[in-house]
Structure 1
């Protein structure tokens, strides 16, 4: 089903000046240059990779999944999916469906995830506009299609899709970007966030988008529908998100809300006290935001750039007994400040096993850390080898152990034993795989189906593009370089 659907979708080429071109990726030749097929061209066009930001393949849909969530995280940020078949003091060996056997120097591997704690990935994107919609107080059921001739300055602003990210560029506020499904009951929501000026972003999660019963809207709600959002205003959120938890993320503090729509159609908001925590985001920048939420128990944790920021247990908001969310599985975003551009990308939704720790707390300088799949047991010491019976040999402070690989969630190697990070080579590209994976290197050649490349860590490799969803040629590490400069 995936292959039959994805094979018919066009690819999208995005240039460094933000121009876009749909068509078909046909390969890479010397230069390096990308070969591009377009229906209006008799012969394929050729573009230098220095002019290309990225290519989104088949609308962000893979032809074939790697078949495993097991992966290795490398020191340069690469995530390499594959089954761990060997481990010793010199190297880690992965068996993959897309590149055969890969041997990785052990001192280049910062983490192994035989059985990732995040569990099953239910969404990774955005690489297509499908299943996303926008809602506003004037159009709570969804904005009508955009009219290029409509110049009404009072019309609601719109989020802009770039092929791999959603960007809010409007000078005003009030339009929510929503996805109505995808979050399991115990979920991890992670995304990359970039912003300019003062940050004020609402993040709705486990939302059910409930509406008042037809013909039973209270007068106050009827008036609310026609009103326009004002900056810093959260009172209309129940109308847009229904029953939901909403985190308001500011530059230096955060607020947790619970929005509700009762059986009589009455909207309400319950607020948690402001939480300053460790939040120091500034007026412009970039961060990785991770929310872990249990819809049934109300337990919520927030991490920024892998570090703990805040936690709520049972959502005892303002001392009240928690009112648990119903069956909401949606999520959404809304900017609540004027003149506040925001970009959201690399969204991942996965299952959560309830582990409260931050990623950084699991890696230390002098010891390897083994975390078990039960989410609670962990051991610090020295990881040895993987034997023929599939057991990890481990030496800790209180003895030697053998852990079956199927019982190990993560192995985080001691920072002191990792090699220095290598500089990215010239003409470096990044291939992004679904549902998780990132492999970088210099391109050698490609016929559009296979990609020959040289990884600075793994050497020469021939990579099948079946699980690939994006090829990134000019990835930026600054918060503004790959934004549209019109705002």
Structure 2
């Protein structure tokens, strides 16, 4: 039963159990921008700070509330400026908390991180390593000592040097490409039809505001597709030599198109000059005076020299955006739906369940949109209906090279003999299957050191692998220790001392690492209950069973590194339900 008065609800909120708190309805506790069952406006406005607080809490049933994270004490404490004391929520009823004001981990030049066999990624400086343990110094967890058998890899210089994008932790800068109305007659008919309708009918139909749903929804750190309109990020700043990596999860048959190195600029068709009407031409002929006898015919006027054609007119997608907020742009001409018309000059890669293909998109000298399919050296891929995958694309504009990896395995390669078209740096995604759904997360655009080996080839059962920052040199053997900024590598052929600053990655041998799939796995290395995950931008990920928390500090236990206290001031979110989508019914609506 909906409470009759908002003030009465606020007065009794602290004493209610979670199931008695009504978040939906007409009160100010509703947030329609992320609620899963509400339609998102086709033209979102720039987000404004909420007076209740900048953080968001997303409940298991999809409800959303603004406010400020207040800590964990026998439940999650939630503060609002319009309520005089914190609200306590049961943690099993919460999916995630998003820290809107988070600034993320500052990427220093020498920032590094370590990856555990559990999937945890801890940002920090590598202090030392021996045969027993690793010591890391982190602004997030402080000084931490971790048993060596729990370490999967060390990344002294991640992202091959430079990170250009990581997210989507928010939707800023992203756009949805919408359809244009090309005929003014259609618009006039629509206006006439609206004028004939009663005002109430125009505003409401069946008691509900008529509103077109968005093609993509942003929630947490993911985008979810609802139809086949394109989601694009023109400001991706893809470097000339780099890597694009993201995770995709889908239900239905996979048919995903990626716009790569697109400039989102297209050529407009030339304006046709109107010919004189037939009646006007006849009048000119009839108006000619008869010539007298002996009168010389007037000389024909000399034809003017042919002038060079006028320069082609162009339009850019970014010129149509109003601000940096997530928004729809009326850009697609329904009669011109080539990839060049939609994304401009660049490439489009389409991923099917069994194979990929790559197309080269450009405009001819006369402004005609062209799409050329590229031949590839490829291996078959197998992506089932309703699956997930990590997609990685490595590319080199200077060498006209593009390589596709799926789940760490080589899938295809293209060499464009004509060279990369244009100089675009934008990125986009289209879900081409109308009855399928796609979730996109963990998007990263980084530099690339040129190494063409797959990620899976960097794992060896009996040897540690060391990859240098130049992308070509790598060694195998045993990393004896890391001390004073130098790694000591011992092999059958040499002993080498390598400065850590020259290393890109160290992958420890699998035979001595903790095997989480082993039947003999100690109970001490299993989670007593489902842990929560703390997400840091751009790469931190720490799982803990929470003990207690204040606004900026959280204490918890992990079977892999014991009890620790982590700093939340730079966290992006807390995720309490691991492995499930951010919108609980997103995969259940087909």
Please report the TM-score for the alignment, with normalisation by the length of structure 1: 0.86
2:420 alignment partner, one of 311, 324, 335: 324
In the TM superposition, residue 457 of structure 1 has moved relative to its aligned partner by 1.2
- Alignment deviations for residues 218-262 of structure 1 (CA, whole Å, 9 cap, x no partner): 9xx9xx954279xxxxx5221221011111001111111111134
In the TM superposition, residue 377 of structure 1 has moved relative to its aligned partner by 0.8
- Kindly tell me: are residues 417 and 478 of structure 1, through their superposed partners in 2, closer, same or farther at Cα, counting changes over 3 Å? farther
Aligned to 2:148: 106
- Kindly tell me: are residues 216 and 430 of structure 1, through their superposed partners in 2, closer, same or farther at Cα, counting changes over 3 Å? farther
- Alignment deviations for residues 264-284 of structure 1 (CA, whole Å, 9 cap, x no partner): 432110112477624110111
1:23 alignment partner, one of 67, 86, 89: 67
- Alignment deviations for residues 330-385 of structure 1 (CA, whole Å, 9 cap, x no partner): 10000112211111111111111221111110111111101111111111111101
How far apart, CA to CA, are the structure 2 residues paired with 1:462 and 1:10? 24
- Kindly tell me: are residues 56 and 484 of structure 1, through their superposed partners in 2, closer, same or farther at Cα, counting changes over 3 Å? farther
Aligned to 2:306: none
2:441 alignment partner, one of 345, 348, 366: 345
CA contact (8 A) 2:105 2:536 kept: no
Q: Does 1:97 align with 2:139?
A: yes
CA contact (8 A) 2:71 2:550 kept: yes
**Radius of gyration: which is bigger?**
2
In the TM superposition, residue 188 of structure 1 has moved relative to its aligned partner by 1.2
Aligned to 1:437: 540
How far apart, CA to CA, are the structure 2 residues paired with 1:139 and 1:206? 28
How far apart, CA to CA, are the structure 2 residues paired with 1:226 and 1:243? 16
Mapping for residues 260-409 of structure 1, pairs under 5 Å: 260-262=362-364, 264-273=366-375, 277-313=379-415, 315=416, 321-388=417-484, 390-409=485-504
Aligned to 1:206: 261
Q: Does 1:169 align with 2:226?
A: yes
Aligned to 1:179: 233
- Kindly tell me: are residues 184 and 431 of structure 1, through their superposed partners in 2, closer, same or farther at Cα, counting changes over 3 Å? same
Q: Does 1:197 align with 2:300?
A: no
Aligned to 1:318: none
Query: Unaligned 5+ residue runs, structure 1?
Result: 141-146, 230-234, 316-320
Query: Unaligned 5+ residue runs, structure 2?
Result: 1-48, 183-202, 273-311, 316-330, 517-524
CA contact (8 A) 2:53 2:80 kept: no
- Kindly tell me: are residues 216 and 124 of structure 1, through their superposed partners in 2, closer, same or farther at Cα, counting changes over 3 Å? farther
CA contact (8 A) 1:200 1:250 kept: yes
Q: Does 1:135 align with 2:177?
A: yes
Q: Does 1:476 align with 2:579?
A: yes
In the TM superposition, residue 192 of structure 1 has moved relative to its aligned partner by 0.9
- Kindly tell me: are residues 445 and 351 of structure 1, through their superposed partners in 2, closer, same or farther at Cα, counting changes over 3 Å? same
Aligned to 1:232: none
How far apart, CA to CA, are the structure 2 residues paired with 1:160 and 1:187? 28
CA contact (8 A) 2:59 2:95 kept: yes
Secondary structure of the residue aligned to 1:402 is strand
- Kindly tell me: are residues 162 and 75 of structure 1, through their superposed partners in 2, closer, same or farther at Cα, counting changes over 3 Å? same
How far apart, CA to CA, are the structure 2 residues paired with 1:427 and 1:408? 35
In the TM superposition, residue 57 of structure 1 has moved relative to its aligned partner by 0.8
Mapping for residues 27-106 of structure 1, pairs under 5 Å: 27-30=71-74, 33-58=75-100, 61-62=102-103, 65=106, 67=108, 68-106=110-148
- Kindly tell me: are residues 301 and 481 of structure 1, through their superposed partners in 2, closer, same or farther at Cα, counting changes over 3 Å? farther
How far apart, CA to CA, are the structure 2 residues paired with 1:428 and 1:482? 22
In the TM superposition, residue 214 of structure 1 has moved relative to its aligned partner by 7.9
Q: Which has the higher strand share?
A: 1
CA contact (8 A) 2:251 2:587 kept: no
Please report the TM-score for the alignment, with normalisation by the length of structure 2: 0.71
Secondary structure of the residue aligned to 2:160 is coil
Secondary structure of the residue aligned to 1:98 is coil
- Kindly tell me: are residues 481 and 416 of structure 1, through their superposed partners in 2, closer, same or farther at Cα, counting changes over 3 Å? farther
- Alignment deviations for residues 95-132 of structure 1 (CA, whole Å, 9 cap, x no partner): 11222111111110010111125322121111212100
CA contact (8 A) 2:96 2:573 kept: yes
